[in-house]
Amino acid sequence: MPSSERSPVSSFVDDYLPALLALASHFISDEFHRVVLAQDLTVNEWRVLACLADGNLMSTGELARVSLTTQPTVTRVIDRLAARGEVRRVDDDSDRRLTLVQITPAGARIVKRLAALAREHEARVLAPMGPQRAADLKDALRQLVSEHAPGTLSSALRAAPPGRGRRALR
């Protein structure tokens, strides 16, 4: 069949959900990661700061899980962010073995600026879909994540009302 007549689904990976999700994530994330790097942050620093943006305390393990980063990498990222005054470590009152991490006002300013740029990027990516299809896509993705990786979603994301978008890490 000539290429002009070929179905848009021409191979297994063209119709395999994990491949489609990975490709979409890769290409869309790479676009925004260039913005992050231009702000003198690493992608992992952005992810950790974005996870802490709501002001809640999180453990290193929680940050690793939600930011899709290994725990040793998150520990090094926290060290760098703390040295720059963008996060601080806080002892857990109920478990002295646990150290929690909290964003500082300096870190919150960085996240506020980058989150605005992330939202602009997201709007450009989703614009061709229209608002309803974009909201439906985000709802479907939240459902998939919730069903396949319990405990991964932030409390704000788990509490998302139907049809309403929440901030993305990427």
What are the structural domains, with CATH classification, of the chain?
A: 13-129 (1.10.10.10)
Q: How far is CA 68 from the centre of its chain?
A: 8
At 70-106, the pLDDT tens digits run 999 999 999 999 999 999 999 888 887 888 999 999 9
What pLDDT sits at residue 169? 47
141-163, pLDDT tens digit by residue? 999 988 887 665 554 444 443 33
Q: Name 43's Cβ contacts closer than 8 Å, sequence gap at least 6.
A: 33, 36, 37
Scanning the structure block, which residue is given the tokens 């993705």? 141
* 47 or 170, which is more confident: 47
At residue 160, the pLDDT reads 40
Whole-angstrom distance, CA of residue 103 vs CA of residue 125: 28
* Distance in angstroms (rounded) separating the CA atoms of residues 15 and 139: 20
- Distance between CA atoms of 12 and 154, rounded to whole angstroms? 33
Q: Is pLDDT at 7 greater than 80 in this prediction?
A: no
Residue 48, both tokens? 């950790």
pLDDT tens-place string over residues 103-141: 999 999 999 999 999 999 999 999 999 999 999 999 999
Q: What are phi and psi of 72, to 5 degrees?
A: -60, -40
Phi, psi dihedral angles at 80 (to 5 degrees): -65, -45
pLDDT above 60 for 167:
no
pLDDT tens, residue by residue, 20-70 = 999 999 999 999 999 999 999 999 999 999 999 999 999 999 999 999 999
- Predicted confidence at residue 102, as pLDDT, reads 97
Residue 45: what residue type? Answer: E
Q: pTM to 2 decimals?
A: 0.78
